[in-house]
Amino acid sequence: MITKPKGTYDVIDREALKLKKINRYIDYYCEFYNYDLIRTPIFEARELFHRTVGDDTDIVTKETYDFKDRSDRELTLRPEGTAGVVRSFIENKMYGSNMPRKLYYNGTMYRYERPGNGRNREFTQFGVEILGSNDVATDVEVISMPYRLFEELGFKNLNVKINNLGSKEDREAYKKALKEYLKPHLDDLCEDCKKRYENNPLRILDCKVDKDSDILKNVPSILDYQSEESTNRFKKVLEYLNYLDIDYEVDKTLVRGLDYYDYTVFEIVSSENILGGASTIAAGGRYNDLVEKLGGPSTPCMGFACGIERLMLAMDEMETIEKRPLDCYIMYVNEEEKIKAITLAQDLRMSGVSADYDTTGRSLKSQFKEADRLHAELLIILNSEDLNKGLINVKDNLTKEETKVDENEIIDYIVSR
């Protein structure tokens, strides 16, 4: 038997219903928040992700799916969504008009990592990018939009963790201070942190191993090394969050795994037990230098990405998902009735009524059972005798009332119910 590749999964039955619901909410919400849909390629030039996500990040160094096509082009399956959106923004010269540009995407991403609960090699992210605004209202919108969306989907205990990484200069100043502080304690840190000390000292802050050590408890705060402008900006973000009634918690150890972030960064965490270690359902932040870095005009941006699989997982705990009931189920036994069944089904469907009938040659009894399984609201029980008189037998599956309706009026009769 050929099985699915490791780290991939099929979406069927109940999962499919959950996915449909999530996707509907996403499209609906994005419309009301005035975001335009964007779809970019699933593979891009390898170079793109090195320049955006960062050469030293794990995502790029250990987790990408890289391949050469038949003309030896170096390509990579996208590990995240922002890079492609920014590339498209520049390539299509979207900066020329209609700024800021508010975009949303919803598609599969690929990372070669160890699969687990809420983690897959092919996974889906929905995300939003606002390009061309440095206003704090933008930061707040990008945080509140997914927060409200998740609430609407049924999430109860959501928590926003937020931090301010400041400008590039702020971060350089802080890194310096951090290294200064850690230098005498270097031997007490875990192996990974020793490596991080040189490449990416900020990441030591959210190290799980050393988290509870006194060294990290007394570490200088990133918030103390920022310019007045940056500090005031962050204050304003928090103030606006209050206006929008978003619960948040400043977490000064929150840094993100992608290199392009600056100023506001955040995560939305769910406390649903089923998520276990995958409790972060969305995360994002500001990236004011990225567009310029990729060759576009200096454009401040803010965005987030959300893991659809994690939403689907958590939805199991929250509610029953049921298939929408069928409007009509048509039953028949002989050939004459069958022909009427297939034509009537077509007419009903074209009139906006969902309809179905048996195609496996089941007994009438089984057809009744099937109708109940589908929660059909109306049963159309065809029989030759009535058909010859131009009548069709319609039974209300709730009241059990049966009516004979003229063949020519059947569509109107059902539609007007």
Q: Is residue 201 within the footprint of RNA (CB under 7 A)?
A: no
Instruction: Compute the Cα dihedral for 132, 302, 204, 219 and give only its sign.
Output: positive
Q: Which of 51, 171, 233, 310 binds RNA (CB under 7 A)?
A: 310
Among 129, 251, 309, 377, binds RNA (CB under 7 A): 309
Contact present, 278 and 76 (Cβ < 8 Å): no
Per the CB < 8 A criterion, the answer to whether 120 and 105 are in contact is no
Single out the segment in contact with RNA by CB under 7 A; choices: 91-99, 114-122, 180-188, 226-234: 114-122
Question: Do 150 and 307 touch, CB atoms closer than 8 A?
Answer: no
Q: Which of 307, 314, 326, 377 is close enough to bind RNA by CB under 7 A?
A: 307
Determine the size of the site formed for RNA (CB under 7 A).
69
Contact 80, 50 (CB under 8 A): no
Work out how close the CB of 407 gets to RNA at its nearest, in angstroms, rounded to a whole number. Answer: 15
Q: Which of 141, 167, 397, 405 binds RNA (CB under 7 A)?
A: 397
CA dihedral 119, 120, 123, 128 (to 10 degrees): 30
**Which has the closest alpha carbon to 163: 245, 262, 260?**
262
Among 208, 217, 388, 416, which residue sits at the site for RNA (rule: CB under 7 A)?
208
Q: Read off φ and ψ for residue 107, nearest 5 degrees.
A: -160, 175
Helix axes 13-32, 136-153, angle to 10 degrees: 150
334 makes contact with RNA (CB under 7 A): yes
Instruction: Kindly write down the DSSP assignment for every residue of 24-80, as one continuous string.
Output: HHHHHHHHHTTPEE----SEEEHHHHHHHT-TTSHHHHHS-EEEE-TT--EEEE-SS
Q: Is 231 in the site for RNA (CB under 7 A)?
A: no
137 binds RNA (CB under 7 A): no
- Does position 199 interact with RNA (CB under 7 A)? The reply is no
Alpha carbons 264 and 411: distance in angstroms, whole number: 57
DSSP 282-333: EEEEE-SSHHHHTTS----EEEEEEEHHHHHHHHHHH----PPPPSEEEE--
Instruction: Work out whether 283 is an interface residue with RNA (CB under 7 A).
Output: yes
Report the nearest approach of RNA to the CB of residue 297 (Å): 25
Closer CB to RNA, 95 or 164, in the complex: 164
Minimum distance of RNA from residue 122's CB (angstroms) = 9
**Which of 16, 177, 333, 391 contacts RNA by CB under 7 A?**
333
Of residues 354-383, those binding RNA (CB under 7 A) = 362-366, 368-373, 379, 381-383
Q: Which of 98, 117, 232, 403 is in the footprint of RNA by CB under 7 A?
A: 117
Told to check if 123 binds RNA by CB under 7 A, we report: yes
Which SS3 state, helix, strand or coil, does residue 262 take?
strand
CB-CB contact of 173 with 225 (8 Å): yes
Positions that interact with RNA (CB under 7 A) = 3, 5-9, 57-59, 63, 80, 111, 113-120, 123, 125, 192, 196, 203, 207-209, 256-258, 267, 276-278, 280-283, 305-307, 309-310, 332-334, 337, 362-366, 368-373, 379, 381-384, 393, 395, 397, 400, 402
